[in-house]
Amino acid sequence: MNKKIELQDLGLKDYKETWDYQEELFQNTLDIKIKNRREGSLLPTPNHFLFVEHPHVYTLGKSGDMANLLVDEKVLDEKGAKFYKINRGGDITYHGPGQIVGYPILDLDNFFTDIHKYLRFLEEMVILTLAEYGLKAERSKGETGVWLDVGTPFARKICAMGVRASRWVTMHGFALNVNADLGYFDLMIPCGIKGKAVTSLNVELGQKEISMDEVKEKLLKHFSDLFEAEIIKQKTEV
């Protein structure tokens, strides 16, 4: 089993370009797995982890409801935002500057073949990271992602998640609000869940800006511990 994970930080990059790149890495891993099965070979499958920030964009998962986007295309244009229907699970979400988006493209055969456990590990990575900033983050029953003040009228979401998997290979991932412009969340019903607020790390800490690089390092530490993986930083080539 290959427990090495190649990390790339793509910086600020268009959503569609990043999605295409994810698909390329995802398909390459699937092709290796199919070849191994057909030919009885044992070629190792790669694992990738992409960090990225996206320009303003709304994405709707395959089980999502268009009614959860509260504005039309004209308003999106005025806001400088794009919209895509995509092939992950979940409903609608927003990505934008000040948000750390992570896309693990893993062959879970290298780790464990359990999607539920995979999602819980991604949540735990974020929960442990936020604990380092003095925040008590939690899961909310039946609602994938990471929340604050669960079970109270002040419940608010700080990290959204949505993944796709085929033959135990994953893509898409999580979006953690660090220095996010929360006004963009007003244009939708986040994840299709009415009556729940959204927050950002800088707002919770009462600071103008939090170091994105610092948060990424904390996320990677907890990710590698949970998955018992070795993170290998690669030069960005896309």
Query: Burial, 11: exposed, middle or buried (Cβ in 10 Å; 0-12, 13-18, 19+)?
Result: exposed
On whether 92 is known to bind a ligand per the annotation, the reply is yes
On whether 66 is known to bind a ligand per the annotation, the reply is no
On whether 162 is known to bind a ligand per the annotation, the reply is yes
On whether 88 is known to bind a ligand per the annotation, the reply is yes
On whether 94 is known to bind a ligand per the annotation, the reply is yes
On whether 64 is known to bind a ligand per the annotation, the reply is no
On whether 40 is known to bind a ligand per the annotation, the reply is no
Nearest to 232 by CA among 45, 51, 6: 6
Please identify which of the residues 169, 178, 191, 229 carries the catalytic annotation.
Answer: 191
**In angstroms, how far is CA 220 from the centroid of its own chain?**
13
On whether 37 is known to bind a ligand per the annotation, the reply is no
User: Three-state DSSP class for 172?
Assistant: strand
Give whole-number Cα distances, 163 to 78, 106, 179, 197, 205, in Å.
29, 11, 23, 22, 29
On whether 91 is known to bind a ligand per the annotation, the reply is yes
Return the axis-axis angle of helices 212-227 and 115-131, rounded to nearest 10°.
140
- Strand 48-53 and strand 4-12: pairing? parallel
Nearest to 223 by CA among 122, 75, 98: 122
On whether 34 is known to bind a ligand per the annotation, the reply is no
Phi, psi of 125 (to 5 degrees): -55, -45
On whether 48 is known to bind a ligand per the annotation, the reply is no
**Rounded Cα gap, residues 63 and 50, in angstroms:** 24
**Rounded Cα gap, residues 161 and 140, in angstroms:** 13
On whether 89 is known to bind a ligand per the annotation, the reply is yes
CB–CB of 171/163 below 8 Å? Answer: yes
On whether 131 is known to bind a ligand per the annotation, the reply is no
Q: Is 159 a catalytic residue?
A: no
On whether 173 is known to bind a ligand per the annotation, the reply is yes
Residues involved in catalysis:
191
Known binding residues for substrate: 88-95, 160-162, 173-175
List the binding residues: 88-95, 160-162, 173-175
